A = this chain, B = another copy of it.
């Protein structure tokens, strides 16, 4: 049966101070009324029933996510004992689901991406599912056609067209997965027309991903098998705690995808953004005639290219600014050069050093 695995363990310090350790990006309504994870679940609703959705997150976030998703069964939120990157996350989800459904086919995706329109996305997932059903060893993924030489994404290099791709769909074998490139390499990728951004959305059988892990990362697979062997047993929590912590920290891309043989890439027909930064958010939200993107109450004098993210009950006034980022929350305000967004992480680190933990 078809299941959805929603990866929701991210910390999202790029959106500080709006995002906090206890309320990271996936729990924020960055694009409107719904939190990112709520929107992700709703988007999948036409394809996968709630009982077959599994949200994998951290212990710190489990309760907040359960509260955010009251329609999800209690077993629908799985808290990892610790962070072990996407290979551990997906591996754990695979063994948990496989214990109940030996034929499980998984849609795996992050909880905090901007995707639309929903109908197009659902149709694209349906195509991926059919490609995997046609060949159970297959791993299907979605590639995003790049429109600029991004350095912040991994890339997928496509190979030969898949003959069985449905009309109107571009699907290919995968030549290779590439890690985040330098700018000159990213330009080559863009110019070649054969490279996609790696969306981080996959469709595969649970058994297939575990077989690939067994072949490529045997130690990691042994740890997962040890966990699988105790599902339903009294000592399961203790075994999970011990074995999961011992897993290698590695992404699913590096652990499996880069060397898996039967990976196919479908060119995404939907709009996609990983919403990795305030600038990405502003890009999606659009801007006024001065290039400003504003959420909340604002007055500006000679203000251009600026992102203002506040609240209706707190006024933000700007004078003589260009390309700034201003984020106001009840207990903390960030003012940054918007081209210096990466350094927001440094603020979070400084706060930790100073012991000002209330702001994390």
Overall SS of chain A's interface: strand
Interface string of A128-166 (1 = CB under 8 A from B): 000000000000000000000000000000000000000
Task: Report the stretch among A47-55, A117-125, A334-342 that lies at the interface.
Answer: A334-342
Interface residues on A, range: 35 or more
Give Cα distance in the complex from A359 to B315, angstroms: 8
Chain B residue at smallest Cβ distance from A315: B332
- Flag if A320 contacts B340 (CB, 8 Å): yes
Residue interface mask A320-334, B partner, CB < 8 A = 1: 110010101001111
| Complex interface: stretch among A26-34, A181-189, A199-207, A346-354 | A346-354
- Number of this chain's copies in the complex: 2
> A204 to nearest B CB, angstroms?
40
Q: Is A288 in the interface zone, CB < 8 Å from B?
A: no
Additional 19 contacts, C-beta under 8 A, given A301-B346, A319-B343: A299-B347, A299-B354, A299-B356, A301-B340, A301-B347, A314-B332, A314-B333, A315-B331, A315-B332, A315-B359, A316-B333, A317-B334, A317-B347, A318-B335, A319-B336, A319-B337, A321-B335, A321-B337, A328-B333
Residues from chain B with a CB closer than 8 A to the CB of A337 are 319-321
Closest chain-B Cβ to A52's Cβ sits at a distance in Å of: 42
Tell me the smallest distance from the CB of A115 to a CB of chain B, in Å: 29
A/B interface sample: 11 pairs, CB < 8 A: A299-B350, A301-B347, A315-B351, A316-B335, A317-B333, A317-B334, A319-B334, A319-B343, A320-B340, A321-B335, A324-B335
Q: Which residues of B contact A328 (CB under 8 A)?
A: 333
Min CB–CB distance A332 → chain B (angstroms):
4
CA distance A143 to B347 in the complex (A): 47
Is A281 close to B, CB under 8 A? no
Give the nearest-CB partner of A323 in chain B: B320
A320 to chain B: which residues have CB within 8 Å? 336-337, 339-340, 343
A88 within 8 A of B: no
Chain A 282-297, CB-CB to B under 8 Å as 1, else 0, gives 0000000000000001
Does A67 have its Cβ within 8 Å of any Cβ on chain B? Answer: no
Q: How far is the CA of A330 from the CA of B326 in the complex (A)?
A: 16
Q: How far is the CA of A341 from the CA of B336 in the complex (A)?
A: 19
Q: Is A235 an interface residue (CB 8 A)?
A: no
The 6 closest A-B pairs by CB, nearest first: A320-B340, A320-B337, A319-B336, A315-B332, A317-B347, A301-B346
When the two chains form their complex, are residues A351 and B321 in contact, meaning their CB atoms are under 8 A apart?
A: no
- Cα distance A187–B218 when bound, in Å? 80
CA A347 – CA B298 in complex, angstroms? 10
Chain B residues whose CB sits within 8 angstroms of the CB of A347 once the complex forms: 299, 301, 317, 319
Say yes or no: A344-B315 contact (C-beta < 8 A), given A299-B350, A350-B301, A351-B299.
no
Instruction: Tell me the chain A residues, 190-208 only, with Cβ under 8 Å from chain B.
Output: none
Complex CA gap A320/B347 in Å reads 11
User: Chain A 82-114, CB within 8 Å of chain B: the 1/0 string?
Assistant: 000000000000000000000000000000000
Chain B hits for A324, CB < 8 A: 321, 335
Q: A331–B319 contact, CB under 8 A?
A: no
**What's the least CB distance linking A43 to chain B, in Å?**
33
Given contacts A315-B356, A335-B326, A337-B320, whether A343 and B299 have CB atoms under 8 Å apart is: no
Chain B residue with Cβ nearest A339: B320
**Nearest chain B CB to A47's CB is how many angstroms away?**
41
